[in-house]
A = this chain, B = another copy of it.
């Protein structure tokens, strides 16, 4: 793969790393344009292009006459930056879902998840590698599309991607709902927190091109272990 990057992008990435790693903290000054020109041996235009990228990403703020400073607090490790459709699937890949049980969905399951139909339920924990469990996850899959449990266990990607590969179905949109809830006794115990503790409940409904809900997932993230972060960019008008 030819991954040659333009100079301005390389420099933007270097600076981004300094910010992400905490070497440059919020409020800290970045090199001025002229300093960048000398240190990196580039023209001012190239330096500005790099800084422009970081500005658009919301990482730095620039003020004429004053200078350039870091604006974004370094995202805590548990923060999940999400800005678009693809990154939801990305999260599903990064944080491994470890299924524990599977069974047909009961009426209570369907009501809680807000769907109707013939679904299979997978329950389990979601964790990043080697960490404490991030969340309890429940996934409902349309029975006719559901993968067997043993396949899910060795799944590399997400279940929705497996469905797309195995059945040719295509996820067209995702409706995501987020709210705060109090954890019940059982859930709290599995996550190692007190009953009644706050959690972020994220419900996602995946619909295919025909509008059929092929998958619903519910995640319960206990307070402090996870934050959902997204960047919204203004549209044309």
Contact = CB atoms under 8 A, between A and B. Distances in A.
Q: Which of A71, A86, A210 neighbours the largest number of chain B CB atoms within 10 Å of its CB?
A: A71
A231 B175 contact: yes
Interface stretch (A33-41, A75-83, A94-102, A126-134): A75-83
A61 B231 CA distance: 22
Contact of A233 (B62, B82, B115, B211): B82
Given A58-B207, A177-B228, A223-B179, A233 B198 contact: no
A211 B85 contact: no
Given A81-B85, A116-B27, A236 B57 contact: yes
Given A71-B211, A212-B63, A230 B175 contact: yes
A116 B210 contact: no
Contacts of A60: 211
Interface in A42-70: 45, 54-63
A118 to B, nearest CB: 13
B175 A207 contact: no
B171 A71 contact: no
Contacts of A79: 173, 177
A162 interface: no
A182 B198 CA distance: 6
A74 B236 contact: yes
Interface string A199-229: 1100001010011110000000111101111
23 contacts: A55-B211, A56-B173, A58-B207, A60-B211, A72-B175, A79-B173, A79-B177, A81-B84, A83-B176, A85-B232, A85-B235, A173-B232, A173-B234, A175-B229, A175-B232, A176-B229, A178-B200, A179-B221, A180-B198, A180-B223, A182-B198, A182-B223, A197-B198
